[in-house]
A and B are shown apart, each in its own frame.
Chain A
Amino acid sequence: MTVSEGEHVGLVQRACSDPDAFAQLYLMYYNNVFYYCVRRLFDRHSAEDVTSTVFFKVMHNLGSFDGTAIDFRSWLLRIATNAVNDHLRDAGRRAEAMKKVVKNGRAEFETAIDCDAELLERKILLKQALLSLKPKYQTVITLRFFENMKLTEIAACLGKKPSTVRSWLLRATAKLRKTLNTATDSRGSR
């Protein structure tokens, strides 16, 4: 569903006090938030949990939002980023996620998605490599390569200077490539 800029501003305003308007806004953005979460967490259940957290936060804080539709998506992704990072901050949970990758990675994805073996392998390696990065690097990678956001948009979303985001992205991509190469080589040599 597409709405004009003016309609979007009106919808956000109404959604503060009108449940129907809030439901409309929620349905417009549910997929965006879910996809962002599942690409950060690589797990449907965790992604759904975090998506729920995000929308409850949105519901309680909507009154403080004041901006355009682009700003709204950015605001939403910032809330989602914080929620995902909170989720990952639990070291135990993170370790558990890593353990699951190593132990059941293939089975986990095979049951969930019908896809070819090569893509599946790549996904497992990507999950391992991404989750080994610092959360801020995971965030910029996801926003840049999955959400297709420009540097300035990522900067606005994270409340950082574009130069800071640029340097994070440089470091993040270098580290990620190195980890992926190492992992691919080690799998290939087995």
Chain B
Amino acid sequence: MMNDNEKYIEEYVKDIPFDAPDSGHRDELKTQLLNAFPKHRLQPAVQTVGIWRTIMKSRTSKLAAAAVIMLAVLAGLHFFDRTSGIVWADVVKRLEEIKSGTYTITADIKGMPGMPEDYVTHIIQDVKLSYEQSAVRVDASVQAPNGTRKSRIYLLFEDRVLTSLMLDQKKYIEVEIGEEQMKKMSEENGDPATILKAILERDYIELGRQIIDGVPSWGIEASDPKLGTKMGSLISGGMFDELTVQLWVDERSQFPIRLFATGSSKDGKTSMKTVYDNFQWNTEIDPALLRPEIPDGFELLAQSQWETGQEAEEILDVLKLFVELGDGTYPASLKTMTVAQAIVPLLRKKYPEGSAKPDKEVLARYMKVDRVGLMYTTLEKEGKEPAYYGDKVSAESPGAVLFRWKIGDDAYRVVFGDLSTRDVTATQLAELEDALKNL
């Protein structure tokens, strides 16, 4: 029985008209849903639903199921030492078997080179990755204070060519990648399989079970700045001093559902929050989408090469830019972000509005800055014991060690403040580095 108030409301709302559904929106949404339909993610769910129904309808197994649910809840509450409902090695295996995937990377980065201090740059990247076609395409948009910059990057593993299109400027850059470097990139191409393997290689922690977008998921986390080398172009190696990566995997499909990465530099000037989501696995990707398409009227801005084994020399070439363009004050560290931030004011000074643009060879040298962090971590990984003292040493201290790396047993190559080089023994190096204390 209704009371007076209910009768009043019922009478009040009677006949009040509302907007009718719009067939245009209905059809558009249908198209969007079908385009995003996670066929392969949900296919195993069909079988699981059936099994789940059987389990829940069987009286004897209900209690067991409830116990499992409670264990999962308690694990999620961190009451116990964390153990996982996921066999991570199996997830790696499943990921290694996928043929293609698409996902979105959204990043907020403070301290991007060329941006105002404290400005948080919002970057969105739509990634299409096909192992079958050995290709990656990334459509990126970067929200800068003066508008959004759009770019498109194609990487063809077999052709060893990376093509970057700057869509607004109608320019493009081609980088020919050396065979060794290409092998490395295809092994560490920033996809979730690579990232998960990298997390498992570290002292990781289990995060337990959580509901992500309504989906029960299990998480894993590791902190290590070197994880950046596994994360592709956006968070390339050595960009940050601190880096924590969390990967969440759908309990049912055992495929990644979300990835969070946070990074920061020691001086607090740069920080980053990144989310990978909208994962779809084994979707069909039209081969035409992965082939570099240079639209008419686009100008080739620069062509460069990316060889491996020359990392230290390449870093030295980047350091030379600070003498050529500036007063020989070097970047405080060889993190990509730090180097890029240090070089931006020098480039602005050298190329004011309206001045002649640098030629292709010069641009190719500038582009090496992008890879400095990655090159430095490669030296570390290969046991070449690199060390860099740009925070203390400038061109004004010609005899002080600026940069060094190991070139053989008991042999190190030292780059001094004036960028001259000398090969020394470990004992000599110790003496030279001891002298840095007096600076």
Cross-interface CB contact of A123 among B16, B21, B42, B252, cutoff 8 Å: B16
Establish whether residues A173 and B6, one from each chain, have CB atoms under 8 Å apart when the complex forms: yes
Instruction: Tell me what chain B mostly uses at the interface: helix, strand, loop, or mixed.
Output: helix
Q: Is residue B149 contacting chain A, with contact meaning CB distance below 8 A?
A: no
Cross-interface CB contact of B5 among A22, A60, A62, A174, cutoff 8 Å: A174
Beyond A60-B214, A60-B215, A112-B19, 18 additional contacts (C-beta under 8 Å) are: A13-B49, A16-B49, A17-B45, A22-B37, A23-B34, A30-B29, A47-B19, A48-B22, A55-B33, A59-B36, A61-B215, A63-B42, A63-B49, A66-B53, A66-B56, A123-B16, A145-B10, A173-B5
Interface set of A (CB-CB < 8 Å, partner B) = 13-14, 16-17, 19, 22-23, 26-27, 30-31, 34-35, 38-39, 42, 44, 47-48, 51-52, 55-57, 59-64, 66, 112-113, 115, 119, 122-123, 126, 141, 144-146, 169-170, 173-174, 176-177, 180
Establish whether residues B17 and A113, one from each chain, have CB atoms under 8 Å apart when the complex forms: yes
Q: List 13 A-B contacts (CB under 8 A).
A: A13-B50, A17-B43, A22-B37, A23-B34, A60-B214, A61-B215, A62-B42, A63-B46, A63-B252, A126-B16, A145-B13, A176-B5, A177-B5
Q: How far is the CB of A107 from chain B (nearest CB, A)?
A: 15
Chain B, interface residues (CB within 8 Å), range: 35 or more
Q: How far is the CB of A188 from chain B (nearest CB, A)?
A: 15
Q: How far is the CB of A174 from chain B (nearest CB, A)?
A: 5
> Chain B, 65-101, contact with A by CB distance < 8 Å: what is the 0/1 string?
0000000000000000000000000000000000000
Given the complex, which residues of B lie within 8 Å of A169, measured CB to CB? 6
Q: How far is the CB of B51 from chain A (nearest CB, A)?
A: 11
Given the complex, which residues of B lie within 8 Å of A38, measured CB to CB? 18-19
Given the complex, which residues of B lie within 8 Å of A26, measured CB to CB? 29-30, 33
Q: How far is the CB of A166 from chain B (nearest CB, A)?
A: 11
Interface set of B (CB-CB < 8 Å, partner A) = 3, 5-6, 8-10, 12-13, 15-19, 21-22, 25-26, 29-30, 32-34, 36-39, 42-43, 45-46, 48-50, 52-53, 56, 213-215, 252
- Whole-angstrom CA separation of A81 from B9 in the bound complex: 20
Establish whether residues B3 and A59, one from each chain, have CB atoms under 8 Å apart when the complex forms: no
Establish whether residues A63 and B45, one from each chain, have CB atoms under 8 Å apart when the complex forms: yes
Q: How far is the CB of B102 from chain A (nearest CB, A)?
A: 15
Establish whether residues B42 and A17, one from each chain, have CB atoms under 8 Å apart when the complex forms: yes
- Whole-angstrom CA separation of A30 from B54 in the bound complex: 31
- Whole-angstrom CA separation of A120 from B56 in the bound complex: 50
Establish whether residues B29 and A51, one from each chain, have CB atoms under 8 Å apart when the complex forms: yes
- Whole-angstrom CA separation of A47 from B21 in the bound complex: 10
Cross-interface CB contact of B18 among A16, A39, A170, cutoff 8 Å: A39
Q: Which residue of chain B has the shortest Cβ distance to A123 in the bound complex?
A: B16
- Whole-angstrom CA separation of A113 from B18 in the bound complex: 8
- Whole-angstrom CA separation of A123 from B37 in the bound complex: 38
Establish whether residues B18 and A35, one from each chain, have CB atoms under 8 Å apart when the complex forms: yes
Q: How far is the CB of B14 from chain A (nearest CB, A)?
A: 9
Establish whether residues A19 and B37, one from each chain, have CB atoms under 8 Å apart when the complex forms: yes
Given the complex, which residues of A lie within 8 Å of B53, measured CB to CB? 66
Establish whether residues B46 and A16, one from each chain, have CB atoms under 8 Å apart when the complex forms: yes
Q: How far is the CB of A185 from chain B (nearest CB, A)?
A: 14
- Whole-angstrom CA separation of A122 from B17 in the bound complex: 10
Given known contacts A19-B34, A23-B30, A30-B26, A61 and B12 CB-to-CB distance under 8 angstroms: no
